[in-house]
């Protein structure tokens, strides 16, 4: 009888899917963009990725040991943070940039707020924005310098970034954007590689379409209305495929911790992301705006959830009839 009346604390419905499995699948989904980034920008890109991942993993391990906390390196969340941070860096940055960014992401944004599940914004993007402020020259330099490993990118990506071309009124090569033969950060250049990873996560039901589609859809509506080019297909596809929009929409805006849990809230969240990204790109001083749009929207998630939380039935709740 005691087993029949046993009461436990909520949640009473639990998923068998564990954090380490989800994070490992995200790492696998990011591999196409990662491999293409290494192919596109050379050994230096590989070096920066390794430094970023190692820094985030080591920082989390050392911090948790020093604070006498359970070591959570095995859940792969620090690895995902390190990989996403690296994919958001230009291949020309100095080796210490991902080190500083990784330490900031893990300690300041993640661990000081309680670790995984408690951080108020995406650690990788928060670190990228911190680096943009601290090392603006390096973080916006997409040139092809000679370094310790020689030339770090192919000759065909030595021009201006697609978004910079659009902002100056020029057209872009949409096919090059799809393939990835353009300038940009290590992981944002190839739309095809990003979509392969996104489809992988969709098939595994790690993510769904609500946030990405509401994000991309609202952004497209915004640039059609306010971009000044109407239904110019080259302009629209250039904005859609250029910069970090696709990487952000599929891999960072969908972060479980920093996105709403309600279905309506996810759509509202995506619409806010699209509007903010459009504002930053069209009216801002920079050609990009995805990172700032996502971290600003992360701050609105508690309010979005509060407004869109379904009304409970019962005492004090909604009644039918």
What is the model's pLDDT at position 144?
A: 55
Q: What is the mean pLDDT of the chain?
A: 87
Q: Which residue has the higher pLDDT, 252 or 183?
A: 252
Q: Which residue has the higher pLDDT, 310 or 217?
A: 217
Mean pLDDT of 153-160: 51
What is the model's pLDDT at position 78?
A: 94
What is the model's pLDDT at position 229?
A: 87
pLDDT of 182 higher than 50? yes
φ, ψ of residue 151 in degrees (nearest 5): -65, 130
CATH number given to 19-308: 1.10.3430
pLDDT of 236 higher than 80? yes
Residues 6+ apart with CB under 8 A from 107: 59, 63
What is the model's pLDDT at position 149?
A: 39
What is the model's pLDDT at position 148?
A: 36
What is the model's pLDDT at position 181?
A: 85
How far apart (Å, rounded) are the C-alpha atoms in residues 220 and 226? 10
Q: Identify the residue whose tokens are 């959830």.
A: 305
Give the pLDDT band of residue 316 (cuts 50, 70, 90). Answer: low
Mean pLDDT of 177-204: 93
What is the model's pLDDT at position 159?
A: 58
Mean pLDDT of 264-286: 94
pLDDT tens by residue, 98-138: 999 999 999 999 999 888 888 889 999 999 999 999 999 99
pLDDT of 156 higher than 50? no
What is the model's pLDDT at position 145?
A: 47
Mean pLDDT of 235-244: 92
Adjacent-strand bridge partners of 313: 318
Residues 6+ apart with CB under 8 A from 283: 226
pLDDT tens by residue, 55-83: 999 999 999 999 999 998 888 999 999 99
pLDDT of 34 higher than 60? yes
pLDDT of 215 higher than 50? yes
What 3 state SS string does 53-69 have? HHHHHHHHHHHHHHCCC
Q: Identify the residue whose tokens are 């609202």.
A: 218
DSSP 156: G
Give the pLDDT band of residue 321 (cuts 50, 70, 90). Answer: very low
Closest CA to 77 of 2, 24, 14, 134: 24
Cis ω for the linkage preceding 11 (within 30 of 0): yes
118-122, 184-188, 192-196: which is most confident: 192-196
Q: What whole-number percentage of the chain has pLDDT above 90?
A: 66
pLDDT of 5 higher than 60? no
What is the model's pLDDT at position 115?
A: 85
pLDDT of 14 higher than 90? no
pTM: 0.88
Q: What whole-number percentage of the chain has pLDDT above 70?
A: 87
What is the model's pLDDT at position 228?
A: 87
* Sequence ranges of the domains in the chain: 19-308
């Amino acid at each position: 009888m005691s087993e029949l009346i046993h009461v436990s604390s909520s949640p009473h419905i639990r998923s068998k899917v564990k954090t380490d499995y989800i994070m490992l699948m995200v790492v696998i989904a990011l591999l196409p963009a990662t491999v293409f980034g290494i192919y596109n920008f050379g050994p230096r890109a590989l070096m920066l990725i390794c430094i970023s991942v190692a820094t985030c993993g080591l920082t989390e391990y050392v911090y948790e040991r020093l604070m006498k906390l359970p070591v959570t390196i095995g859940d792969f969340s620090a690895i995902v943070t390190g990989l996403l941070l690296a994919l958001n860096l230009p291949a020309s940055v100095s080796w210490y940039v991902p080190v500083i960014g990784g330490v900031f992401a893990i300690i300041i944004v993640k661990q000081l707020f309680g670790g995984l599940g408690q951080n108020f914004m995406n650690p990788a993007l928060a670190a990228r924005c911190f680096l943009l402020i601290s090392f603006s020259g390096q973080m916006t330099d997409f040139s092809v310098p000679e370094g310790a490993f020689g030339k770090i990118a192919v000759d065909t990506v030595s021009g201006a970034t697609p978004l910079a071309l659009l902002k100056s009124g020029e057209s872009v090569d949409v096919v090059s954007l799809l393939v990835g033969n353009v300038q940009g950060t290590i992981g944002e250049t190839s739309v095809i590689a990003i979509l392969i990873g996104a489809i992988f996560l969709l098939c595994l039901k790690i993510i769904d379409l609500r946030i990405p589609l509401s994000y991309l859809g609202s952004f497209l509506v915004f640039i059609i209305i306010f971009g000044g080019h109407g239904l110019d297909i080259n302009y629209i596809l250039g904005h859609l495929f250029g910069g970090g929009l696709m990487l952000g929409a599929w891999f960072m805006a969908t972060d479980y911790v920093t996105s709403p849990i309600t279905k309506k809230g996810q759509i509202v969240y995506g619409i806010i992301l699209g509007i903010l990204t459009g504002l930053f790109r069209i009216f801002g001083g920079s050609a990009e705006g995805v990172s700032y749009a996502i971290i600003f929207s992360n701050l609105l998630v508690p309010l979005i959830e509060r407004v869109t939380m379904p009304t409970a039935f019962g005492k004090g709740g909604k009644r039918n009839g």
